[in-house]
Chains A and B, each alone.
Chain A
Amino acid sequence: MEKRKEIFPFGIPGHNLSEIEREIPNDEPPAWPVNDQLKEVGKRVNRIDARAKVTGEAKYTSDMKLSGMLYAKFLRSNIPHGSITSIDTSEAEKVPGVHGIHIITKNKEDGMVGNEYPEIKYVGQPIAGVAAESLSIAKDAVAMIKIEYDPKSFVIDLEEAMLPDAPLVFKEPIQRQEDGGDVGVVHDGSKGQGNLRGPTTSSFYGGPRGDLEKGFAEADVMVENTYRTQVHTHMPLETHGVVIDWKPEEMLVYASTQNTAGVRNELANYFELPKSQVRVICDFMGGGFGAKHSAGSFGPMAAILSKKTKRPVWLMIDRKEEHLAEGNRPSSIQTLKIGAKRDGTLTAIQQKSHGTAGVALGAGVGRIAQILYDCPNFKTEQYDVLTHAGPGAAWRAPGNVQGAFGVEQAIDELAEKLKMDPLALRDKIDKSEVRKVERSRGAELFGWSNRKPAGSASGIIKKGMGVAQSCWPRFVTLNSSIEVRILNDGSVEVRGSVQDIGTGTKTILAQVVAEELGLKTTDITVRIGDTLFPDGPGSGGSVVTQSITPPARNAAYEAKMKLFNQIATKWETEASKLEAVDGFIIHKDDRSKKIPFKEALRGMRTSQISVTASRSNDYGGFQQPWGLAYGDLGSVQFAEVSVNTNTGFVKVDRVVAAHSCGRPLNMSQLESQVNGGVIQGISYALYENRVMDKGTGHFMNANVDQYKVPYSMEIPEIEVIIVEEYGALSSTDAYGIGEPANIATAVAIANAVYNAIGVRIYEIPITPASILKALNKIYE
């Protein structure tokens, strides 16, 4: 590929904006200037599907009603550990309206030794499914299946699971589930013994660094503490589920999924079908935070029931099932030891963690301790502890949210020992230029200078201020393609399998394509979330924006050049002399020569121009060739809280969240995502908590009544600062923001609570009782 040189904006406007020359392949579009000089990109453009969503016209998976459709319901285990000795479906089969029942049996590769049913390892494990003419018939039939168990002893508590005589969850080495999304760090389930797996000591940023002993010997000041985080389940508005119509020629799947292409691959593989005969559609998504990458157990169940009954089958799980079985953010118990010199320079960081993802792996605490701060000597040991509880899954910034809760409190504790302001210490040890800007702009808006010494507030209700930082890798899914079609009436269509998880992917694709074609965002029709179209990335790891907007722009650019070539021939000029601006195609040297975009294709030989483009490599290359881009997605969040020292109740009064995501594409959508991340962070810090009953192994609060998430009344004022940061890395230079939005909030609140009451809380959720206990007001 021939290359050319191109000048790109580089750096942070208002701070260090400059230019950089990059050599880029010739087929890449010209560099975009900073957002100020663009018309659609970077603006507060309304969501193109806002009307459909607020009027209820938008059809979600659970809304699908196909002709002859049956409703399916799972039978799930009522015991945490044991084997199934018999299942009798005869009564259930007789229920009028029941069309099919399927019992899950061991896979062929499991050997089918002895018992043919898989061992039960947690309450809520799927056992069988019933398809019936209505959901209530299916439920009644499920209740009539007779099942006998041979129960075995179980363990649901992390620390008890580590005892030598604890009941074993798996006797054999295990593998991390595929298609589960990124779950923190790569775990090897073949190491370890008993219920312990690990340790994981490295990540794609490398392994241990330097010499810990030497580092701690050089330290003037040390902090060592243990931090605990709870199991946090997924609560998207729309639960997991599918509607599947398995026709002879094609398996048609409507899925509430973060990854249409992934679900297609999974189902094709499971049923040994060609990928071309499985079509997965997710037009509107009712929320997903990491656990909706897979076809799960509901996908195969609905498919089998559809095949058996020759009817479409609707299988959306209910809220209780969502809590029990469809993923959670694993717990953690993290011990951190950090050494520093008198001036704040870090000399050593040692991290050891245990966490439980129930019957799954993935309880690592991420990469925050490893890379957020400059430190020559570093070691981590992260263990998974298996328990008889529902499987963990990716959950918005897997690992990093838990990791930040430890690291960012420890850094604050260090600052106090060093008698430094928490921001001043971070200025010293954080090499990130963008976080430096976020700290300074955030501190100013927040009023950080009004912060008082910890515990100095008087009165019953004490106010406090806290800050915390985050980082998240810039992952790029290189297998990301998208098609742009210009039709002969001038309408433009964008098509891809990439789904809009709800963050506004459809809108940013329209913005990028409109910008390139000199049109309005509303001129572009976006048809995505359908595997009929080119494969795009899954909506996980905050990868979508950086993976799919460059190919969208490149496809639009290439289609435009094809159009220009045709017009240039007519006008007896060259394509390079034309530009597309404000709905016209114009001759740059003779601006009177112009044609409305809508008319440009008329009279052409073909009725459309269609271009599919794929993600090209970053202009400056990658940190890791599989798609780890340079830079990170950093944030700094500030929180102000009020703590009632009589009742222990904590109210978050205010959050200022300063974030970066390369070139911002849509300010309103970015703010919306950060708001969501902050709200989930508040919920994680103060409310949500899976409570298991040790006597029965049941999840006690698997509902919306007792599993607390905030109402609007608990939500504080949230102010969002988006820092533009140009890296000249791709044709859009834009990145996602979904996960970074959720990392720093809980620990910023913990630091603010400390500032308010002068006593540190080492465990979330921070409850009124935990505050009173810390204040020695009640003794448990």
Chain B
Amino acid sequence: MIPESFGYSAPSSLIDAYALLEQHGDDAKILAGGHSLIPMMKLRFASPTHLIDINKIPNLSYIKEEDGYLKIGAMTREVDLEESEVIRHKYPIFTDASKLIADPQVRNFGTIGGNIAHGDAANDHPAVMLALGAEVVISSAAGDRTVGIDDFFFGFYTTAVQHGEILTEIRIPSLGPRTGSAYHKLERKVGDYATAGVAVVIGLNEDGSCSKVGIGLTNVNPTPIRAARSEQILLGTTMSESDVAQAAQYAAEDCSPSDDLRGSVEFKKDMIRVITKRMINKAIQRTKL
């Protein structure tokens, strides 16, 4: 449980951070909250030769509504999401998710940017972002670029963030009226990674039919996965009991969990079915709030 030796820098600006990334090459890693990276280093699953700590860089922690987006700075701590009034009122899906992430000590330091940039399908925010149709702002010395969440996760622990780049902001398209969102995960006991988790965003037309739907799944696929067939079958419908049941069934069929100590493939798929149904109904309920 002792990492291999590594160098450490704590730049005070993004410009300096880009320079350090350039200087140290592929073996440098960005350190945000450290709650994924440091355990992996202690287990020696990761052995970066240099850590670039971005905690001292100002203006990377914020939650603001601007230009039709909810913008969240990459260094925003989980606890800030948990306690934000805007989030609690308009984006309760974050409150649902934040409360279920690890334990208070982790949430006091873990960041939303790190949660996503880690590219781990077991983390909770990726599914939430998929459901919300988020965009990710990736910055480098060459400037900023924006990547849609569906193009962000490449594979196991790999994302669209390339060498020399830093994830700096998450943008959520503002949710219109009559929108509801919800997230839940099953965990063997409090603080565990998800056995199975489901994020759902639902928007309604004035007639009550489904105008918008996003469903993301946690820890049931090598990469964070969107339940695309489930979304398609709901869109435009009144979301009757049978529509919802079918959407839940598709989510279960389309995910690819692995057999592990959290449960068998069959058990996890069935949990996706149960939770998808529950979260769709909860999101629909929240459209009325």
Residues of B within 8 A of A714 (CB): 189-190
Residues of B within 8 A of A297 (CB): none
Asked if B190 and A711 make an inter-chain contact with CB atoms under 8 angstroms apart, the answer reads yes
Asked if B261 and A769 make an inter-chain contact with CB atoms under 8 angstroms apart, the answer reads no
With both beta carbons as reference points, the residue of chain B lying nearest to A779 in the complex is identified as: B266
Asked if A769 and B267 make an inter-chain contact with CB atoms under 8 angstroms apart, the answer reads yes
B271 is an interface residue with CB less than 8 A from chain A? yes
A713 is an interface residue with CB less than 8 A from chain B? yes
Asked if B264 and A710 make an inter-chain contact with CB atoms under 8 angstroms apart, the answer reads no
A94 to B274, CA, bound (A): 59
Given contacts A691-B261, A768-B263, A769-B263, contact A778 B189 (CB under 8 A): no
A713 to B187, CA, bound (A): 12
Asked if A706 and B261 make an inter-chain contact with CB atoms under 8 angstroms apart, the answer reads yes
Interface bits B165-204 vs A (CB < 8 Å: 1, else 0): 0000000000000000000001011111001000000000
B96 is an interface residue with CB less than 8 A from chain A? no
Residues of A within 8 A of B142 (CB): none
Interface bits B85-115 vs A (CB < 8 Å: 1, else 0): 0000000000000000001000000000000
A646 to B281, CA, bound (A): 15
Residues of A within 8 A of B267 (CB): 768-769, 772, 778, 780
Asked if A708 and B1 make an inter-chain contact with CB atoms under 8 angstroms apart, the answer reads no
Give the distance to chain A from B217, nearest Cβ to Cβ, in Å: 16
Interface bits A694-705 vs B (CB < 8 Å: 1, else 0): 000000110000
Give the distance to chain B from A144, nearest Cβ to Cβ, in Å: 15
Asked if A701 and B2 make an inter-chain contact with CB atoms under 8 angstroms apart, the answer reads no
Residues of A within 8 A of B189 (CB): 687, 708, 710-711, 713-714
Give the contacting residue for A708; candidates B188, B266, B274; CB below 8 A.
Answer: B188
Give the distance to chain B from A659, nearest Cβ to Cβ, in Å: 26
Give the contacting residue for A777; candidates B195, B264, B270, B275; CB below 8 A.
Answer: B270
Give the distance to chain B from A563, nearest Cβ to Cβ, in Å: 54
Give the distance to chain B from A400, nearest Cβ to Cβ, in Å: 26
A777 to B103, CA, bound (A): 32
A187 is an interface residue with CB less than 8 A from chain B? no
Asked if A318 and B261 make an inter-chain contact with CB atoms under 8 angstroms apart, the answer reads no
A117 is an interface residue with CB less than 8 A from chain B? no
Residues of A within 8 A of B190 (CB): 711, 713-714
A225 is an interface residue with CB less than 8 A from chain B? no
Residues of B within 8 A of A646 (CB): 274
Asked if A708 and B192 make an inter-chain contact with CB atoms under 8 angstroms apart, the answer reads yes
A647 is an interface residue with CB less than 8 A from chain B? yes
Interface bits B263-286 vs A (CB < 8 Å: 1, else 0): 110110011001100000000000
Give the distance to chain A from B157, nearest Cβ to Cβ, in Å: 18
List which B99-137 residues lie within 8 A (CB) of chain A. 103
A699 to B144, CA, bound (A): 47
Given contacts A649-B186, A708-B189, contact A772 B270 (CB under 8 A): yes
With both beta carbons as reference points, the residue of chain B lying nearest to A140 in the complex is identified as: B2
Give the distance to chain A from B99, nearest Cβ to Cβ, in Å: 11
Across the A-B interface, how many residue pairs have beta carbons closer than 8 Å? 48
Given contacts A139-B2, A777-B270, contact A769 B264 (CB under 8 A): yes
A136 is an interface residue with CB less than 8 A from chain B? yes
List which A300-335 residues lie within 8 A (CB) of chain B. 318
A147 to B265, CA, bound (A): 38
A318 to B1, CA, bound (A): 10
Interface bits A664-700 vs B (CB < 8 Å: 1, else 0): 0000000000000000000000010001000000001
With both beta carbons as reference points, the residue of chain B lying nearest to A644 in the complex is identified as: B274
Residues of A within 8 A of B270 (CB): 772, 777-778
Residues of B within 8 A of A768 (CB): 186, 195, 263, 267, 271
Residues of B within 8 A of A777 (CB): 270
Residues of A within 8 A of B191 (CB): 711, 713
| A interface residue count range (under 10 / 10 to 19 / 20 to 34 / 35 or more) | 20 to 34
With both beta carbons as reference points, the residue of chain B lying nearest to A701 in the complex is identified as: B261
Asked if B186 and A647 make an inter-chain contact with CB atoms under 8 angstroms apart, the answer reads yes
A649 to B270, CA, bound (A): 13
List which B234-260 residues lie within 8 A (CB) of chain A. none
A708 to B103, CA, bound (A): 15
List which A348-387 residues lie within 8 A (CB) of chain B. none
A769 to B269, CA, bound (A): 12
A658 to B264, CA, bound (A): 38
Given contacts A691-B261, A772-B270, A780-B266, contact A136 B2 (CB under 8 A): yes
A155 to B189, CA, bound (A): 31
Asked if B266 and A778 make an inter-chain contact with CB atoms under 8 angstroms apart, the answer reads yes
A139 to B2, CA, bound (A): 9
Residues of B within 8 A of A691 (CB): 261
Residues of B within 8 A of A778 (CB): 266-267, 270
Give the distance to chain A from B142, nearest Cβ to Cβ, in Å: 39
With both beta carbons as reference points, the residue of chain B lying nearest to A134 in the complex is identified as: B2
Residues of B within 8 A of A700 (CB): 261
Interface bits A127-146 vs B (CB < 8 Å: 1, else 0): 00000000110010000000
Residues of B within 8 A of A769 (CB): 263-264, 267
Asked if B103 and A711 make an inter-chain contact with CB atoms under 8 angstroms apart, the answer reads yes
A713 to B186, CA, bound (A): 14
Asked if B264 and A780 make an inter-chain contact with CB atoms under 8 angstroms apart, the answer reads yes
List which A195-240 residues lie within 8 A (CB) of chain B. none
A556 to B271, CA, bound (A): 63
With most chain B CB atoms within 10 A of its CB, the pick from A139, A700, A706, A710 is A706
Residues of A within 8 A of B103 (CB): 711
With both beta carbons as reference points, the residue of chain A lying nearest to B273 in the complex is identified as: A646
Asked if B188 and A687 make an inter-chain contact with CB atoms under 8 angstroms apart, the answer reads yes
With most chain A CB atoms within 10 A of its CB, the pick from B188, B264, B266 is B188
With both beta carbons as reference points, the residue of chain A lying nearest to B261 in the complex is identified as: A706
Residues of B within 8 A of A710 (CB): 189
Give the distance to chain B from A603, nearest Cβ to Cβ, in Å: 59
A700 to B188, CA, bound (A): 16
With most chain A CB atoms within 10 A of its CB, the pick from B191, B261, B267, B274 is B267
Give the distance to chain A from B123, nearest Cβ to Cβ, in Å: 15
Give the distance to chain B from A610, nearest Cβ to Cβ, in Å: 48
With both beta carbons as reference points, the residue of chain A lying nearest to B266 in the complex is identified as: A778
With both beta carbons as reference points, the residue of chain B lying nearest to A700 in the complex is identified as: B261
Residues of B within 8 A of A779 (CB): 266
Give the distance to chain B from A713, nearest Cβ to Cβ, in Å: 4
Residues of A within 8 A of B1 (CB): 318
Asked if B266 and A647 make an inter-chain contact with CB atoms under 8 angstroms apart, the answer reads no
With both beta carbons as reference points, the residue of chain B lying nearest to A318 in the complex is identified as: B1
With both beta carbons as reference points, the residue of chain A lying nearest to B265 in the complex is identified as: A780
A710 to B270, CA, bound (A): 25
With both beta carbons as reference points, the residue of chain B lying nearest to A646 in the complex is identified as: B274
Interface bits B1-40 vs A (CB < 8 Å: 1, else 0): 1100000000000000000000000000000000000000
Residues of B within 8 A of A713 (CB): 189-191
Give the distance to chain B from A248, nearest Cβ to Cβ, in Å: 35
Give the distance to chain B from A468, nearest Cβ to Cβ, in Å: 23
Give the distance to chain B from A636, nearest Cβ to Cβ, in Å: 27
A768 to B274, CA, bound (A): 13
A646 to B275, CA, bound (A): 9
Residues of A within 8 A of B264 (CB): 769, 780
List which A96-143 residues lie within 8 A (CB) of chain B. 135-136, 139
Residues of B within 8 A of A711 (CB): 103, 189-191
A646 to B267, CA, bound (A): 11
A769 to B260, CA, bound (A): 13
Q: List 5 A-B contacts (CB under 8 A).
A: A135-B2, A647-B275, A649-B186, A713-B191, A772-B267
Known: A710-B189, A772-B270. 19 other contacts (CB 8 A): A136-B2, A647-B271, A687-B189, A691-B261, A701-B261, A708-B188, A708-B189, A708-B192, A711-B190, A711-B191, A713-B190, A713-B191, A714-B189, A768-B186, A768-B271, A769-B263, A778-B267, A780-B266, A780-B267
Residues of B within 8 A of A (CB): 1-2, 103, 186, 188-192, 195, 261, 263-264, 266-267, 270-271, 274-275
Residues of A within 8 A of B (CB): 135-136, 139, 318, 646-647, 649, 687, 691, 700-701, 706, 708, 710-711, 713-714, 767-769, 772, 777-780
Query: What are the 8 A-B residue pairs with the smallest beta carbon separation, nearest first?
Result: A713-B190, A769-B267, A646-B274, A711-B190, A136-B2, A706-B261, A778-B270, A714-B189
